[in-house]
């Protein structure tokens, strides 16, 4: 993704007209000369419209099993860091995450080449959209089935989002009960997985690992559909009836080799908050009797879907982790970020940088995520993003001498003593497989802290 942004910023062409319209006097002549071809690039660069907000101390990350050095200062997993935080609190703490599964970034649609990415209106994504619907229904039912009183799994919800449901209603694939304004005009714009987990729970590690690695009862089919891992089969249409709420293994679910999406690039990182479990409405905690299937409506007369109701609550809560400090722009982090993705903006202040990126990249905002690793734009430039407190990151510990090998499917971290009888990963035979999800050795990569192995 970094390469796309660099291309958008430094590709050579005539200067763009927006530079003359903005009235941003802070742009130096050097920056004016280098920021070129923005109008053309903005039509195609994949900045997700309508993202989940990162306000109120929400943070961006890929998985609880992975480290997040940018916020923790160490190479321990996010789960371990949150567990240590939870043990020092007087109440149970919950990790509440929203993860979008937007349409693929694969480029403009065939019939609408200048509408840019994320356009689903002409039908070129219809095959994959049906898989998202089917897999979404199965995934929320599977996670719901794992909710046990006082267990590590606290809640599970799902939405297809206004954009996808509007398309499915138009092409006749959606149930009529779903083609109502509360869903087609929902706040949640894209397919959304919503999960709640109790941090510090003794069974959390096993629960998260098994959830990601299990083909029959977990999330692995969704992950492999997105990731196109070795061993998956080529895309084909979903030709079976769509799963009913609570159906864990419907007729259309593949067996054996898993299926990959028709178009690559689906997925988005998680946007999460750590909050008191008691601050989450009781209806969304340990809801064993209510399956919040995709686009669930609380009643026949309701005007807001259950997931939109949950999102409104989530937005109103301020995350209790990481610790925060008063707003002060982090120009060192901004400069480091721009040095790797947009060298022409090095040395520019937050106002100038935000104006340049938002003018050039359609849909860019303080909530944009996934363009770079490291701090969010909101955390680097709080002065232009609401003036909220920003994370107070501890002094980093020395990094591990060599990045560990992570499975790109289930995020298992290879441990030579535990998983290979003392054999270094490099010396394992090519036939070796992940002990959790069965992915081949080729699915592993040395993953530096904070980088996403894949997008789902």
pLDDT in tens, 431-443: 999 998 888 898 8
- Preceding peptide of 320 cis, ω within 30°: no
* 138 and 131 Cβ atoms separated by less than 8 Å: no
pLDDT of residue 453: 37
Tell me the pLDDT tens digit for each residue of 271-328: 999 999 999 999 999 999 999 999 999 999 999 999 999 999 999 999 999 999 999 9
3-state secondary structure of 276: strand
Q: Which of 106, 193, 111 is nearest to 156 (CA)?
A: 193
Choice among 249-253, 278-282, 310-314, 343-347 with the minimum mean pLDDT: 343-347
Terminal CA-to-CA distance of the chain, rounded, Å?
Answer: 15
Is it the case that residue 202 has pLDDT exceeding 70? yes
The stretch 403-428 carries a mean pLDDT of 89
Q: Which of these ranges, 173-182, 209-218, 434-443, has the smallest mean pLDDT?
A: 434-443
- In the predicted model, what is the mean pLDDT of residues 163-185? 96
Q: In Å, how far are 45, 341, 364 from 357, measured between CA atoms?
A: 11, 11, 7
- Summarised one tens digit per residue, pLDDT across range 75-100 is 899 999 999 999 999 999 999 999 98
Higher model confidence: residue 44 or residue 431?
Answer: 431
The 10 Å Cβ neighbour count of residue 176 is 8
Supply the pLDDT for residue 361: 79
Confidence of residue 227 (pLDDT cuts 50, 70, 90): confident
What mean pLDDT do residues 117-124 have? 83
Q: What percent of the chain has pLDDT over 90?
A: 61
Confirm if 151 and 159 have CB atoms less than 8 A apart.
Answer: no
Look at residue 134 in the predicted model and tell me its pLDDT. Answer: 96
Question: Which residues have CB under 8 Å from 299's CB, separation 6+?
Answer: none
Q: What is the token pair recorded at 320?
A: 């209790």
Are the beta carbons of 181 and 208 closer than 8 angstroms? no
Distances in Å between the alpha carbon of 36 and those of 32, 334, 356, 455? 8, 21, 11, 29
Distance between CA atoms of 213 and 446, rounded to whole angstroms? 19
Average pLDDT over all residues of the chain? 85
Q: Which residues contact 165 (CB under 8 A, 6 or more apart)?
A: 174, 178, 179, 183, 184, 186, 295
- How buried is residue 204: exposed, middle or buried, by Cβ count under 10 Å (0-12/13-18/19+)? buried
Return the number of other C-beta atoms located less than 10 Å from residue 372's C-beta.
Answer: 18
């Amino acid at each position: 993704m970094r390469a796309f942004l660099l291309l958008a910023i430094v590709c050579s062409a005539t200067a763009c007209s927006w530079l003359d319209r903005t009235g941003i006097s802070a742009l130096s002549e050097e920056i004016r000369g280098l920021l070129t071809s923005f109008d053309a690039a903005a039509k195609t660069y994949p900045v997700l419209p309508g993202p989940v907000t990162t306000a109120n101390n929400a943070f961006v990350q890929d998985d609880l099993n992975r480290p997040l050095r940018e916020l923790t200062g160490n190479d321990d997993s996010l789960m371990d860091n949150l567990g240590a935080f939870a043990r020092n609190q007087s109440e149970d703490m919950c990790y509440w995450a929203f993860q979008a599964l937007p349409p693929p970034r694969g480029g403009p649609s065939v019939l609408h080449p200048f509408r840019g990415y994320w356009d689903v209106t002409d039908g070129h994504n219809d095959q994959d959209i049906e898989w998202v619907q089917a897999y979404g229904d199965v995934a929320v039912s599977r996670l719901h089935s794992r909710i046990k009183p006082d267990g590590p799994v606290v809640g599970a919800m799902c939405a297809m989002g206004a954009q996808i449901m509007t398309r499915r209603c138009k092409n006749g694939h959606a149930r009529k009960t779903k083609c109502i304004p509360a869903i087609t005009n929902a706040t949640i714009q894209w397919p959304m997985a919503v999960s709640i987990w109790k941090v510090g729970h003794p069974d959390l590690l096993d629960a998260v690992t098994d959830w990601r690695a299990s083909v029959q009862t977990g999330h692995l089919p969704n992950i492999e559909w997105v990731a196109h891992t070795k061993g998956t089969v080529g895309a084909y249409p979903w030709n079976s009836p769509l799963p009913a709420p609570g159906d864990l293994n419907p007729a259309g679910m593949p067996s054996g080799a898993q299926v990959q999406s028709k178009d690559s690039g689906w997925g988005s990182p998680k946007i999460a908050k750590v909050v008191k479990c008691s601050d989450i409405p009781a209806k969304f905690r340990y809801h064993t009797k209510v399956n919040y299937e995709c686009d669930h409506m609380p009643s026949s007369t309701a005007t807001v879907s259950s997931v939109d109701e949950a999102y409104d609550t989530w937005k109103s809560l301020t995350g209790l982790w990481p610790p925060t400090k008063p707003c002060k722009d982090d120009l060192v982090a901004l400069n480091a970020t721009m040095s790797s993705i947009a060298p022409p903006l090095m040395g520019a202040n937050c106002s100038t940088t935000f104006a340049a990126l938002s003018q050039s990249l359609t849909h860019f905002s303080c909530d944009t995520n996934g363009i770079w690793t490291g701090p969010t734009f909101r955390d680097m430039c709080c002065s232009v993003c609401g003036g909220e407190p920003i994370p107070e990151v501890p002094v980093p510990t020395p990094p591990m001498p060599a990045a560990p090998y992570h499975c790109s499917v289930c995020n298992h971290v290879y441990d030579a003593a535990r998983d290979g009888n003392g054999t270094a990963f490099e010396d394992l035979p090519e036939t070796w497989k992940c002990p959790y999800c069965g992915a081949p050795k080729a699915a592993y990569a040395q993953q530096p802290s904070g980088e996403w192995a894949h997008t789902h």
